[in-house]
């Protein structure tokens, strides 16, 4: 019983830390894009394109964290 509790504690820590990075990254991406649009509204197209690309890459890290958490939860002793 105690081993299962420690396993779930590890899963929770992995999830929390694994989702912290992408969450902060997406917030900073949005902040930077809004700053750039405020300074140069004419450059909306390239800024939006780059923001979406970098946002997708940051989201991929969150998806890796989900996969890792699921593996930790359902596999192993």
Task: State which residues form the domain around 34.
Answer: 2-74
- What is the DSSP-derived secondary structure letter of residue 75? S
pLDDT-derived band at 77, boundaries 50, 70, 90: low
Q: What is the CATH number of the domain that holds 35?
A: 1.20.20.10
Question: How many structural domains are present in the chain?
Answer: 1
Q: What is the mean pLDDT of the chain?
A: 92
pLDDT for res 76: 65
Distances (CA, A) of 77 to 4, 6, 11, 12, 64: 8, 11, 13, 16, 21
Question: Residue 27 in contact with residue 42, Cβ under 8 Å?
Answer: no
Angle at the Cα of 62 (from 32 to 12), degrees rounded to 5?
125
Could you report the per-residue pLDDT of 49-66, keeping only the tens digit for each? 999 999 999 999 999 999
Could you report the per-residue pLDDT of 4-38, keeping only the tens digit for each? 899 999 999 999 999 999 999 999 999 999 999 99
Two tokens, residue 47: 């800024």
């Amino acid at each position: 019983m105690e081993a299962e509790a420690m396993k779930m504690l590890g899963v929770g820590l992995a999830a929390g830390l694994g989702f912290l990075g992408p969450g902060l990254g997406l917030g900073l991406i949005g902040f930077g894009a809004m700053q750039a649009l405020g300074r140069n509204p004419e450059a909306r197209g390239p800024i939006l394109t780059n923001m979406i690309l970098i946002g997708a890459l940051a989201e991929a890290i969150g998806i890796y964290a989900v996969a890792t958490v699921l593996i930790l939860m359902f596999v192993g002793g």
